[in-house]
Structure formats: C-alpha cells, structure tokens
Structure 1
Amino acid sequence: MKSVLITGANRSIGLETAKQLSKQRLFVYLGSRNLEKGKSVVQELIENGFQNIKAIEIDVTNTDSILEAKSIVEKEQGKLDILINNAGISGPFPQNASDTPLKNIQEVFDTNFFGVINVTQIFLELLKKSDSPRISNITSGLGSLTLHSDPNWKYYDVKSAGYGTSKAALNAYTIVLAYELKDLPFKVNAIDPGYTATDFNHHNGPGTVESAVKFIIKHTLIDDKAPTGKFYSNDIEDETEVSPW
C-alpha cells in the first residue's frame, strides 16, 4: 500500500485530498499543526467509513515537529511514496508592496515557501526509498509572473506582496527541485487547484473542493512517463492545463 503525507490536511482542500486518496486505497497521513484537531477529524472520517488514515502532528514552520513526523512515518512505513505540500496561509489583506509590514510578509513566506523547503528536504530520505516518489507543491495562479504581467488576465488586479510572491517563489523552487531529481524516478510538480471556495478565502471562488482535489490527484498519481517540473492550473481552459510561469 502506497503512503502519502498531506500537510495542512485537517480542513478544506487538504481534508478532501485525504478523503479521496483514502478511497483510492492509499495510507494517508493527515498532517495537522494541532494533533488533537487532526485526531478529531480522523475519528469522524473513520466513523463515516474511511480507512487507512492517521492524524500526524506537523507544523511546517517548526523543524522539530517535521523531524518527529518523519520519524513516525519511517517507523511505520519505512518510506514515503507521496508528499503533498498543501499547508499554506494567505496573511492579512490588503498586501500592498509599498506598506505591508515586513513581518506579515515573512510570516507568509515561513509557511508557504520556507516551510515547504524544510518539509521536503527532511522527507527526501524516505521519498528516495519509494519506487515512484511524487512531490506535489500546491500553488496558486496568483504566483504566475506571466499572468500578473497581462492586463487582460481576469485576476490581474489581485496583487499581493506576501501571498502571491510566496507562491511565485514556491514555483521557482519546484523547477529547481525537479531538475535536481530528474535522473531519479521522482515527479515534482506545482499544482494550482484553481479559485476554490474554502475557509481559506471565506468561501469565495467558483470552484468546489471536490473539483480542486480531483485536479490535484490527477497530476499527483501520474505514471513514470509523465512530465516533471510543470505548473498545472485548474483555471486553465485547455487540454494541457499547463500554466505560464
């Protein structure tokens, strides 16, 4: 049975991802910064018929927490097949480039960018023990520099000095990581679930979590012939779904 760790999985897109992967018979580590909240969610899932799900405490901004989570997965599985870096924060809005407090931007980067790097680097040892390791970095179309430079883009006016720039940095890291691992069986991609109504954005957005997660899973559970180092967006209305960087 393949194993997957999903960070920030106790609600919204992360939780739905855990549900759908459980249905596909993967062993799911439901990552939660607060273990009790995670356990409560898992207990409810089990009562509703879901199987092979375990809550695991992981705060992506805390190295000790990540190391402890890695130790648990290593003892129980010996390896990790899939890492979905889903945990993220938006930070307070508005986020003007000229006057957003630096500490606010740093807090967003600590989770959305540095947290992803820390989790990924610590779990690489276990991922390398998998026959077909996958890393999916959950990003946003708001991290596309190309689209943000196009006045005709429908979200052109949605600028953010913290959130958007953190996702642009995450996209850049994805390219570097995918290149470094290209001669191994890894597939490393940035995946934008699209503008989805969740707790994260006060339930704005036209997309549903179910649709968003189907898209994430589509580009995570890919075969060895699939590309690596790509940026897929659920908001792209063509067959390739490849978003411009």
Structure 2
Amino acid sequence: MITQIKEYIQFGDFNSKDAGWYLQSRDAPTPDKKEIVEQIPYLQGVLDFSDVLGEVFFDRREITYEFKLPNKDYPDRKVAERFIKSSMTTKSESQLFDTHDKRYYWLGKVKSIRVTDVPLKKHLIATIVFICYPFAFHADNYFDDVWDTFDFENDFSNWTKWDINVREEIYFVNGGDTSVSPTVICSSDITLIDKKGKTYKFQKGENNDFVLSIKPGINRFTAKGNGTISLRFNAEVMA
C-alpha cells in the first residue's frame, strides 16, 4: 500500500506531491530583527533605535525543507534530481505555497538544493532552502469577502469600503502582524486625514500610494469628498 502524500509545497512549476516527493521535515524559524544601535561615549549600554517608528522590522528569513523520493531505480533518480533542481533554481522570486500554512503563501527564491542519492534503499533525499520575505501573505485580497471559500479558522472579515458624503469619520482594520500599503480605489477625488493630521489625497480610480501605511489593528481617518473609497491589501502575518 502506497502512503498518501498529505504535506507538500508548490513553487513555480514544481509541486512536490505531483512529483512524488514525501516531506520529511520543515524548519521555519522566525527571522532576525533588524537592529539599529549607536554606541555613545560615557553612556551605559547603547541607544537602540530599532523600533523608533513604533514597529519592529525584520531581515529575510530562511525556510528549509527535506523531502524523500522512495523506490526509484537509478535512471529515474537521476531524472528526478535534474527536474527538482531545474524547475526551481531557475525561477526568480515567486510565491511559495505550503500546506502547513493554509491560506497563506511566502514570497521568495531558492537559495540552494542539495540532493543525496541513497542507492541501497533506492531513494533520494532533497534538502531545499528558500530565502523569503519575513511575513507570510494571506492568499485572499481583502477588498470583497468571498463567503463561498471563507475559512473561519484562518480568515478574517473587514469592512473595507465606505460611502463619503462631504465629511465622514471612517476606519480600516488591518488584521495582520505588520503595516501594509494598500491600493486605494475611489469613485471620485477623496482626501484622508489621519489622527496625527497627515493628509493623503487620492484621485478617482485606482491609487497606489505607498506613503499610506495601514498599521495592525484599527486605523481611523477623517474622509473628505463625495463618493466611495475602498482598500485592497493582502494581510501579512508572522507564521
């Protein structure tokens, strides 16, 4: 009886389940925090400016997988080794889907692939190391809720569209773990003012203003104009 493959990854054209590789282990430690420190003479310790903006920043992270391809003759093992290397190492930064992180994906590229041949047992062992963005992206774009595929364990529902009549107090919720820069869609020219008095002006249509940052939690604004304003973004989590 052949054991069914339940855990697998998808990266570019490579799907480990379709290729017959069994996941042996997964290692995804949290990324290192970026530290910005200054040594000041005659001052104990150091001055740490790492979270001066009120948010923690991280370096890229490494995710390592070990797979086994069992019961293959030598010619088939050589073909499998070439395929797993050529189908992933030649790809630029791409989405990495992992069944362990349901409804999320990583954004990264292959750092290395090491394949070990075990001739006595007729199988291959592949160790794949990815370098990824520190946060995982939610697979759905939070613009419209799609209830047919809503996952109550992993998804969250936000109100992301508001009707503006001259002046309205509105809010947007970021359910992720870090700030995001959303795409803003307006039916007419609309201005947002945050609680610190900073002004963001958006024109009719689709706006990609990377200056606007939606922090985790509730973000309150004063909106001025006449029409609708909505946000599109993918939540980012520390998985």
* TM-score bracket, shorter-length normalisation: under 0.3
* Structure with the larger helix share: 1
- TM-score normalized by structure 2? 0.22
- Whichever of the two has the greater Rg, that structure is 2
- TM-score normalized by structure 1? 0.21
